Structure 1
Amino acid sequence: MPATHTTLAQHVAIVTGASSGIGLAVAEAMAAAGAAVVINYHSQEAPADDLAERIIAAGGRATVIQADVADEADVARLFNETVDVYGRVDIVVCNSGVQKDAAIADMTLEDWNTVIDVNLTGQFLCAREAVRHFRRQPRSGRPARSAGTVIAMSSVHEIIPWAGHINYASAKGGSRMLTRSLAQEVAADGIRINAIAPGAIRTPINKEAWETEAALEKLLRLVPYGRIGEPEDVARAAVWLASDDADYVTGTTLFVDGGMSLYPEFRDNG
């Protein structure tokens, strides 16, 4: 677990899809920064429980709550149970995501709907519930200058087209405008809405892209900085965005991608 500091002391954070990969790293980093963390999972209970045990053993606070972010009632329950345990919610990281890849001619409606439901509608449902809770919470109990903050986990593919993955890229493009439009709508309430767009990150979901030397070499051609990202790279960015250090930041996407979104094919003058 990372070294403990107090950037997020007294905050309560919900991290969806926190049983693996980026979500797990974000939950662990926020706990190390002083937040009480709700570790949400959909189907992988054991790693979520293991993470909670590590956080608690290190002196932090953590609770595990199962919920499907694409289910409206489940999302409401996730927030209500969080408030039952901790009394409030201050940070929501909409991290849950899936991929169902196929060429357009082979992509089923079910695969399209599944990815849109989890990756985009899930972010909408969590952000909507977050705004409702942030608005209800009294100013006197706030641990931060803002009334609350939402971080949507996007992708470099919110701006980079991705053939063979149109459901995923469409959901991430939608996440970009959800972030910007919602930030515009709720800024006057003191609520901050931002997104993080990871590039190539070493997680189980994309293991085939980095697990062999040949695959990694091919991947790194797309990353000007010359290394694959680690979940902790994204986690550190999330802690900053959630903290008062980023209090004047809203409606933006922070790219954590080693330059992947800089059109690396043009680095030698095109």
Structure 2
Amino acid sequence: MEFIEILKVILLGIVEGITEWLPISSTGHMILVDEFIKLNTSEEFKEMFLVVIQLGAILAVVVLYWNKLFPFSLKGKPVVKKNIMILWLKIVVACIPGGVVGILFDDYIEAKFNNYITVAITLILYGILFIIIEKRNKDRIPKVNTLRSMSFGMAFCIGLFQVLSIIPGTSRSGATILGGILIGTSRNVAAEFTFFLAIPVMFGLSFLKLIKFGFAFTGPEVFTLVLGMGVAFAVSVFAIKFLVGYIKKHNFAVFGYYRIVLGVIVLGYFLIQNI
């Protein structure tokens, strides 16, 4: 495998690790970065890689939040932790809307909307929404400040917001965080639930992509996947810690401005290219 191709994979892993958790759209950024660096692989493998690489980012959540996610106590006699089991049930409930829509419309959405125009428009649109919602909620006191106090109904509502992220450029984390804030959760609860919700969602999407691609990988393809996921994992650890620390003192408006600026740049660049 050529050194330049290794650098491309590392860059994509870095982009995935940062953008998967910040509400700025990982899929959108991956599509845009791919426009410039172009992995030297088949279109089928690249399509699968841009999704499956997210497993590395998801593993970072599992590692960082193991004590909050593992529902069994193995010290002495095995004990089921009721609160964690209830949390997983809430996660399952929140996954239902996105799972149904993803299975039914994934191929259609990918064929029609995986392009720079869609990414640019959704970057700008949701950037504006972030700013408006943060200003609207500036002095509002959250009704839910812990995951334990979040109801199953609220979890399902956040899952409905997650459906919006099927459109590239939306941002899965952005949609669910906005949804959580709108229905009354604190930013911290919305962000943490978003982290946990990503685990089954990304595993599910990756499994579907792997099934679609098949499991007949070449040596370089295996290396590309493993390297991409490894880099995404390492970078995600820092990105998650940054976001958790950031939201303790700041709101998400800055990400809204970033999205708008990036969306305008992207739209302008590609429109000029096509003149």
TM-score, length basis structure 1? 0.31
TM-score, length basis structure 2? 0.30
Decide which structure has greater helix share. Answer: 2
